Amino acid sequence: MGNFVWPVSTRAVVTSPFGPRWGRFHYGTDLSYGGCAGDKIVAARAGTVTFVGASGTYGNLVKIRHASGIETRYAHCSSFIVSTGAKVSAGQPIARIGSTGRSTGPHLHFEIRINGVAKNAMNYVSKNDTAPKYTGGAVGGSVLSAVGGSSSSKSTGSSSSSGAATTEQKSKDITSVKVTSTTGKIGNQDSSLRTKNAILTQGAELLIQNGSTVFQPALEGEITLEYERKNTPGKLTFTVYKDATLKIAKGNAVRFRYDNKRMFFGYVFTFKRKDSKFMTITCYDQLRYLKNKDVRSYKKTTYSKLLKQIAKEYKLEYGTVQNTKYMIPARIEEGTLFDILGNASDLTVSHTKKLFVLYDDFGRLTLKNIESMKLPILVDQDTAESLDYESTIDKDTYNRIKIYSDNDKTGVREVHVRNSTAKQKKWGVLQYVEKAEGLSKKEMKQKAKILAQYYGIEQRTLSVKKQFGDTRVRGGSSLVVKLDLGDKSISNFMLVEKVKHTFVNGAHTMDLSLAGIKGEFHV
């Protein structure tokens, strides 16, 4: 064919083709072979790298823009070799095969898109297409013919202003995202139930609003309310007696209070029925809408401002949003809103060492510094029914930090290394590597110092079941823990990673997944 280069070893086989798959459309071709993890991926065509980074279900992704409206994508990479803005030749190594994102094993998810439309890559490239055979794919050649295009002339290699040269000269790096047209308006969900007066002041009060009617259904069994610290909406689950008068639809507003304390406000997403009498309902708070995928760009914006921008665009209500202060440089993002906000959070943590928790507070998005979420609640041997404890240096513990960036002027990849010598003597060398584009040498050293402090600790996790319930506890709260754990006695605040509140027969208990803060435990 000559217009593309096979992007991996010729040993690769197609493990999942382009087309319908598992009830959805697979826009790429999956290529894999035994022992492929870490092997090089090469550019399938000459062009400009427009994206390098994490991108939702793609995992670590490289995107390259080529002439004639062609783009190639390389997903699930374990690491990158090129950076955004780099000019690459056909067959040049750009990344390594991995299993990041939504992946069941090491492989390359390879896409060819022409004028934004995904095409079956196997119609354009084969194992016989090696770099020496690459012709450059003239604008008037078979690439455009394959997608229904046409050209009245062929490339002659001259320096005239027509043909492939013109296309290359007109191409520009993508630096921003702009909405050029919109059909219709975003609708507002009815959230008026959130501010209606309470019906019960003791025990569980659960209300559902369908149109102008508010129902207080008869409940069966337990009510569970689950919160996590990161990238997960609050989840309320309960079972109701389905009588002739109860009318519920997906999207209905749901409000839950306990002993007149505000616990949850969200919307119905799922019904489940096992018989004709009872129906189990699952509801999520506003964070559920942060699972939406998006493409957006921003520059010189803080995490907190970005959150407000997204909330306004998606008609989400927000309350207390503390100023995160760190100004994030220009970025182009693609992925879920959770991914986009998570990247902003990670950048804020790495530059300020301040961790902020995003959650929904009874129908209002809230962003708070973790230090402001401490609660005077004691977890000890007497307040919990059982516990499960783990201590490890096998998960996110590093004592050698390597930060690097590429100097386009000198052609040198500049690296700064920070060793934690005492901890290396104890644990051996555990290395963390991160690319940091646009940082000065001083900033690279500062970032390495922050990461060494952040990652240079043992990770300990603790699960506690049937703790006495407290309505204030959510993911991101910190509780006082006093326990003898065998290798360590803890008497300190610990962070709630997950909490499951259970309300049944007038009793309230909670199951907790805890992690440490300030050195003893790893956040």
The confidence score (pLDDT) of residue 412 equals: 85
The confidence score (pLDDT) of residue 183 equals: 92
CB of 282 closer than 8 Å to CB of 354: no
- Please, what's the b/e burial string for 469-495 (b: 16 or more CB within 10 A of its CB; e: otherwise)? ebbebbbbbbbbbebeeeeeebebbbb
Distance between CA atoms of residues 357 and 367, nearest Å: 6
In a 10 Å sphere around its CB, with 0-12 CB exposed, 13-18 middle and 19+ buried, how is residue 215 labelled? Answer: middle
Considering the domain delimited by 371-393+458-516, tell me its CATH architecture. Beta Barrel (2.40)
Nearest to 469 by CA among 399, 375, 334, 354: 375
What is the CB neighbour count within 10 angstroms for residue 426?
Answer: 10
* Residue in the block written with tokens 């490239």: 125
Q: How far is CA 282 from CA 182, 241, 269, 292, in A?
A: 32, 15, 6, 19
In a 10 Å sphere around its CB, with 0-12 CB exposed, 13-18 middle and 19+ buried, how is residue 251 labelled? Answer: exposed
0.95 exceeded by pTM: no
Nearest to 29 by CA among 82, 79, 72: 72
- The sign of the CA dihedral 371, 373, 374, 379 is negative
Would you list the domain boundaries of the chain? 13-170, 192-285, 288-362, 371-393+458-516, 400-455
Instruction: State whether CATH 2.30.300.10 applies to domain 192-285.
Output: yes
CB of 72 closer than 8 Å to CB of 45: yes
CB of 166 closer than 8 Å to CB of 138: no
In CATH terms, the superfamily for domain 13-170 is: Glucose Permease (Domain IIA) (2.70.70.10)
Nearest to 80 by CA among 40, 48, 44: 40
Distance between CA atoms of residues 210 and 240, nearest Å: 15
DSSP code string of 136-195: ---TTSHHHHHTT---SS---S---SSTHHHHHHH-------------S-PPPP--GGGG
Helix axes 337-352, 303-313, angle to 10 degrees: 160
Q: What is the dihedral of CA 67, 72, 78, 82, to 10 degrees?
A: 0
Distance between CA atoms of residues 309 and 237, nearest Å: 30
The confidence score (pLDDT) of residue 170 equals: 43
The confidence score (pLDDT) of residue 35 equals: 83
CB of 64 closer than 8 Å to CB of 51: no
The confidence score (pLDDT) of residue 153 equals: 34
The confidence score (pLDDT) of residue 250 equals: 96
Query: For every one of its 523 residues, what pLDDT tens digit does the chain have, with 9 covering 90 and above?
Result: 568 999 999 989 988 898 886 667 889 999 998 888 889 999 999 999 999 998 888 999 999 999 888 999 999 999 999 999 999 999 999 999 999 888 888 999 999 999 888 899 998 999 988 888 887 654 333 444 343 333 333 333 333 333 333 333 444 556 678 888 999 988 989 999 999 999 998 999 999 999 999 999 999 999 999 999 988 999 999 999 988 899 999 999 999 999 999 999 999 999 998 888 999 999 999 999 999 988 888 889 999 999 999 999 999 999 999 999 999 888 877 788 998 898 888 888 878 888 899 999 999 999 999 999 999 999 888 887 788 888 889 978 999 999 888 776 787 888 999 999 999 999 999 999 887 766 778 888 888 888 888 788 887 778 999 999 999 999 999 999 888 877 677 788 888 999 999 999 999 999 999 987 543 333 3
Residues 6+ apart with CB under 8 A from 336: 56, 290, 291, 292, 293, 294
In a 10 Å sphere around its CB, with 0-12 CB exposed, 13-18 middle and 19+ buried, how is residue 464 labelled? Answer: buried
What is the CB neighbour count within 10 angstroms for residue 128?
Answer: 10
- The sign of the CA dihedral 343, 347, 348, 350 is positive
Q: How far is CA 7 from CA 129, 130, 187, in A?
A: 9, 9, 44
In this structure, what token pair is assigned to residue 98? 């991995």
For residue 356, give the amino acid letter.
Answer: F
The confidence score (pLDDT) of residue 102 equals: 84
The confidence score (pLDDT) of residue 23 equals: 64
210-216 contacts at long range (C-beta below 8 A, 24 or more positions apart)? 210/247, 210/248, 210/249, 210/252, 213/247, 215/245, 215/246, 215/247, 215/248
Nearest to 72 by CA among 42, 98, 109, 110: 110
The confidence score (pLDDT) of residue 165 equals: 36
Nearest to 222 by CA among 248, 258, 188: 258
Q: How far is CA 446 from CA 178, 265, 341, 519, in A?
A: 35, 42, 23, 19
Q: What is the dihedral of CA 73, 79, 80, 81, to 10 degrees?
A: -130
DSSP-derived letter for residue 218 is P
